[in-house]
Amino acid sequence: MLITEICRECGQSIAISELRAHCESCIGEHQAPSEKTDEKNEVSFLEDLPDPLVETFTESIHMTEPIPIPIISSSQNIVFSDSPNAITGSITFPVTEPVPASAPANSEIVVVLDRSVFPSQSGGNNEFQLSTEAETLKHEDNHTESISNIVVKAIKYCNENYIEDPVEILKYLQSVLVTGRKLDIVDLTEALEGDTNYICVDRSNILETAFEEIKGLQDLRMTLEVQFYGEVAADFGGPRKEFFQLALLEIKEKYFDHGLRQHLSEDYLVVGKLLALSILQNGKLPRFFDEDLQNNLFSDLPAESSCLTNLRAGLDSLGLYKVGISLPTFRYLLQSSSVKLTVKSLINLLCPKFAEEGSNTRRYENSVYAAFTKYLREVASGRRMPVTLNQILQFVTGASEEPVLGYYIHPSIEFVAPLKSFLPTSNTCSNALKLPRPTADMPLPVHTDLFKLYDHGFSNSYFGLF
């Protein structure tokens, strides 16, 4: 079809492709010389239209979908009509082309439309009320909002809602600060999907490789995904927790056990980032600050050393320095804990999944579970050194202590048929200890031999990343 415009001087329908030439000749014929200058200014914006725009618009009218009309100004009176007797409607369009300086503020454009392309509204009203309100542009993407703004809002929310429990504060901070894939498996039937910060570290050189990887991260808010050199375990929560466990143990020994190390002051920036990540992403809590250090760390006063300055900056890369000052109860999470893991608490924590009562499988499971509880008592008494109860918990869950926010999936013991040995393994992402049970063809070894296998398994983290 052909799209045309009505010439206001002669009333003729003129094709858009011929409009420029017609306007020049028509204005000269119908107006006095004194009027030509003003009228020329009125249509001068047409001269600023490049030919490709007119040609593209003329060709695109053959499309079956509604077509955006090129608009010169953001506030024009547009006439949509089938005939020269058009109804004028005032509408607003987003400016898609630069507005010429000579274009009048309230000019009128008459466009003849084919109703097969722009059907009438109900009731036969020829006036089209087009709306281009910018609601979609007003939507604020939380992922692009600065960490500082998010933390300020979080502090305000906690104060307004009287949230003083440090665990509750941490849970809320985690919900607004951590982005990307979920931190841990919540449902074993659903796969974890989403963006992550992938890092690859050396278990035998954890700090150096971790520092290099953390320095390269652009968005610290995103869920961390950890791969250990030479290990094939996929990280859905377990390897990340073990990474934090290993890194924080070495950080404590190197950077805090003998006071702040001034000659290593630059390292404290990355140390602070690692501590903040561990706190927010279900890792080990850094509970090795003495009272004086914690008071100096979370203070409005100028830092006493460059170590403290950098440590504050590292924590505040995720807003935790500001949180520690504004919400003092949050700092209770960083105080040393006197809670000790016992045989009773570990047995209650690791829930066995037995087969049906009375079956042969259940009988085999009972025998290996009895041996395992006996082994735990020997560990607790110190007779299986260097294995400890905390080490067994770390083997199962990736962390040597129960996380302050609890487990999404409760730790459990699964009894499996032995392949070649009774060596225990685990899945730290689902918090499952896998204990081989005896069978009719493969009886349970004597406790002396079985416990040696347990010693080997629980002291080797690789078997806990199955």
State pLDDT tens for residues 404-459.
888 888 899 999 999 888 999 998 888 899 999 999 899 999 999 999 999 999 98
Q: What DSSP string runs through 408-425? A: SS--EEEEE--SS----E
Q: What token pair was written down for 298?
A: 């979370």
CA distance 87 to 454: 88
Residue scoring higher pLDDT (11 or 80)? 11
Average pLDDT, the chain: 78
Among the residue ranges 78-82, 255-259, 335-339, the one predicted with the least confidence is 78-82
- Angstrom distances, CA of residue 28 to CA of 7, 9, 13, 21, 40: 13, 10, 18, 11, 10
State pLDDT tens for residues 328-347.
999 999 988 777 899 999 99
Residue scoring higher pLDDT (22 or 426)? 426
Using CA of residue 226, residue 145, residue 268, residue 332, what is the dihedral sign? negative
Whether the CB-CB separation of 242 and 461 falls below 8 Å is answered with yes
Which pairing describes strands 224-228 and 197-201: parallel, antiparallel, or unpaired? parallel
Bond preceding residue 386 cis, omega within 30 of 0: yes
- Angstrom distances, CA of residue 244 to CA of 198, 232, 270, 281: 14, 18, 13, 9
- Mean pLDDT for 85-100 is 44
| H or E element at residue 206 | helix 206-215
Half-sphere exposure in the Cβ direction for 95 (13 Å, CA): 8
Identify any residues that bridge with 414 across adjacent strands, giving them in sequence order: 353, 434
Q: Give the rounded percent of residues in the chain with a pLDDT score beyond 70.
A: 71
pLDDT for the residue 434: 94
Q: What token pair was written down for 440?
A: 């009719």
Check pLDDT > 90 for residue 224: yes
For residue 236, count other CB atoms closer than 10 A to its CB: 19
pLDDT for the residue 20: 67
